[in-house]
Amino acid sequence: MAVYAYKGLNDLGKAVSGIVDADTAKTARLKLRKTGIFPTELTEHERDDGTAATGMARLANLNANFGQYFERVTPQELAMITRQLSTLVGAGLPLVDCLSALIEQLDTARVKRVFSQVREQVTEGGTLADAFKAHPRVFSDLFVSMVRAGEASGALDVVLLRLADYTESYAKLRDKVRSALTYPVLMAVVSFGILFALLTFAVPQITRIFAETGQDLPMVTQVLLAASGFMQQYWWVILLLIAIAGLVLRSSIQTPAGRERYDRFMLSVPYAGTLQKKVALARFSRTLSTLLTSGITLLAALDIVKNVVNNSILMKAIGEARDSIREGHSIAPPLQKSGLFPSMLVHMIAVGERSGELEKMLAKAADAYDNEVEMSVASLTSIMEPVMILVMGGIVLFIVLAILLPIFEMNQLVS
């Protein structure tokens, strides 16, 4: 099936443009007319075999496809689009018209192409959830399940609004963690680069003078000379070992056992493990609350939430809780038995189950963990920054002493 870029007029005479999938140009025109668009220009964007019609078109398509490969829909973009779609659906417009109006407002080529394909599937009689499911890189299982529940309950606009709120909350939490950790990580990379350059290029030029004098050098200088010589001759070995270690780690976590060991280790790392656990618990609480509020059953919601926490140890605990519910038991005891979920969260879940307000209790727990994550990140960065400064200061002091001590000794001999 080929992809056609079109320009045309809608029922109101307004100029529109977009992309449509069709076997032939004639079929593309018929599809557009069914949606109330009268095409004035139709250009083949790509054929089934991936080749374009002729020279310049082929080059343009290759550039477009290359750019599309790297484009991603950010959570902020998805939240904004979902909120706009919720407003259109809530206004009572037909779903196809809502999608058409939404596509006109989109700027990113890949996003416009995705929603054009979604509109085509809906026009052909498919559900919106099925159309979203055909694009897993853009719409997660959580997104698809909530839209399906909204369509089934007749409250699609409300569900879409909840999805937008959830996506924005998730994006804010992720951005807070990333922005707080960006400076320490960047500082560590720059510091390592400077240290590598000093030991590999700068220090050998200076210390070669001391080696040529033939005098006995202080132990500090001898250690610096040895480290610098090793770095100068075998720097490629160090980089190779780092690359091999990264590949080994990556391949090991592909296996279930390796992934479990890695996740268990990450949870046990001081400060960082606690922060990762709080982020996972915030996602668990927020996602489960959103799903239950949208009318999805607890068992189905837990199946989705299990993949949101991004940790196999927590996934296993959630899976055991789901099995317990299937057998007619409560969700709280297996979570408490795992030892991974704090008593406060387990207690809130238990109270929510007994009172019939589990969604509200989970939402409150999510807010609490969001605040804890923010404080933990601030605390972690406040510890990391001075520690890194002290470490780098100590290394620089070591290098300075190793260079100055021989100079002092030479001055004493001359005097």
User: What is the DSSP annotation of 279-301?
Assistant: HHHHHHHHHHHHHHHTT--HHHH
Q: What is the DSSP letter of 309?
A: S
* Residue reference for tokens 């040529």: 212
Domain boundary among 54, 70, 86: 70
Q: What is the mean pLDDT of residues 238-242?
A: 86
Packing angle of the helix pair 109-123, 75-90 (nearest 10 deg): 40
Asked if residue 143 lies in contact with residue 132, where contact means CB atoms within 8 angstroms, the answer is yes
Asked if residue 110 lies in contact with residue 71, where contact means CB atoms within 8 angstroms, the answer is yes
Does some domain include residue 29? Answer: yes
Is the predicted pLDDT of residue 285 greater than 50, yes or no? yes
Does some domain include residue 77? Answer: no
Mean pLDDT in the chain? 79
Q: What is the mean pLDDT of residues 238-250?
A: 87
Asked if residue 409 lies in contact with residue 218, where contact means CB atoms within 8 angstroms, the answer is yes
pLDDT-derived band at 65 (thresholds 50, 70, 90) equals: very low
Domain boundary among 42, 70, 98: 70
pTM recorded for the entire structure: 0.63
Does some domain include residue 253? Answer: yes
Does some domain include residue 308? Answer: yes
Q: What is the mean pLDDT of residues 79-86?
A: 88
Q: pLDDT tens digits, residue range 33-50? A: 777 787 777 777 644 344
Question: Residues 376, 377, 382, 388: what is their CA dihedral angle, to the nearest 10 degrees?
Answer: 120
Is the predicted pLDDT of residue 66 greater than 60, yes or no? no
Question: What's the total number of domains in the chain?
Answer: 2
Least confident of 132-141, 185-194, 360-369: 185-194
Q: What is the mean pLDDT of residues 319-333?
A: 83
Q: Which domain holds residue 246?
A: 176-415
Is the predicted pLDDT of residue 101 greater than 80, yes or no? yes
Does some domain include residue 82? Answer: no
Is the predicted pLDDT of residue 62 greater than 50, yes or no? no
Is the predicted pLDDT of residue 139 greater than 80, yes or no? yes
Q: What is the mean pLDDT of residues 85-90?
A: 88
Q: What is the pLDDT of residue 47?
A: 41
pLDDT-derived band at 244 (thresholds 50, 70, 90) equals: very high
CA-to-CA separations, 150 to 124, 189, 291, 372, in angstroms, rounded:
20, 46, 11, 32
Q: pLDDT tens digits, residue range 298-325? A: 888 888 888 778 788 888 888 888 888 8
* Residue reference for tokens 């004035």: 40
Does some domain include residue 339? Answer: yes
Q: What is the pLDDT of residue 214?
A: 64
- Other CB atoms within 10 Å distance of the CB of residue 322: 20
Q: Which amino acid is at 166?
A: Y
Based on the domain organization, do 53 and 196 belong to the same domain?
A: no
Based on the domain organization, do 187 and 318 belong to the same domain?
A: yes
Is the predicted pLDDT of residue 13 greater than 70, yes or no? no
Is the predicted pLDDT of residue 369 greater than 70, yes or no? yes
Query: Cα(142)–Cα(294) distance, rounded to whole angstroms?
Result: 11
Determine the longest span between alpha carbons in the chain, in angstroms. Answer: 98
Does some domain include residue 104? Answer: no
Q: What is the pLDDT of residue 68?
A: 42
Is the predicted pLDDT of residue 53 greater than 60, yes or no? no
User: What backbone phi and psi angles, to 5 degrees, belong to 46?
Assistant: -170, 140
Q: What is the pLDDT of residue 67?
A: 42
Does some domain include residue 370? Answer: yes
Asked if residue 101 lies in contact with residue 93, where contact means CB atoms within 8 angstroms, the answer is yes
pLDDT-derived band at 413 (thresholds 50, 70, 90) equals: low
Based on the domain organization, do 55 and 198 belong to the same domain?
A: no
Residue 405 sits in a domain whose CATH number is 1.20.81.30
Based on the domain organization, do 53 and 193 belong to the same domain?
A: no
Q: Is 377 helix (H, G, I), strand (E, B) or coil?
A: helix
Closest of 260, 302, 283 to residue 177, by C-alpha? 283
Q: pLDDT tens digits, residue range 204-223? A: 777 667 666 666 777 887 78
User: What backbone phi and psi angles, to 5 degrees, belong to 114?
Assistant: -60, -50
Query: Cα(120)–Cα(2) distance, rounded to whole angstroms?
Result: 13
Asked if residue 103 lies in contact with residue 10, where contact means CB atoms within 8 angstroms, the answer is no
CA-to-CA separations, 298 to 24, 326, 363, in angstroms, rounded:
46, 10, 15
Domain boundary among 70, 88, 120: 70
Q: What is the DSSP letter of 8?
A: E
Of 386 and 413, the structure prediction assigns the larger pLDDT to: 386
Query: Cα(316)–Cα(274) distance, rounded to whole angstroms?
Result: 18
Residues 335, 336, 340, 342, CA torsion sign: positive
pLDDT-above-90 percentage for the chain: 0
pLDDT-derived band at 170 (thresholds 50, 70, 90) equals: confident
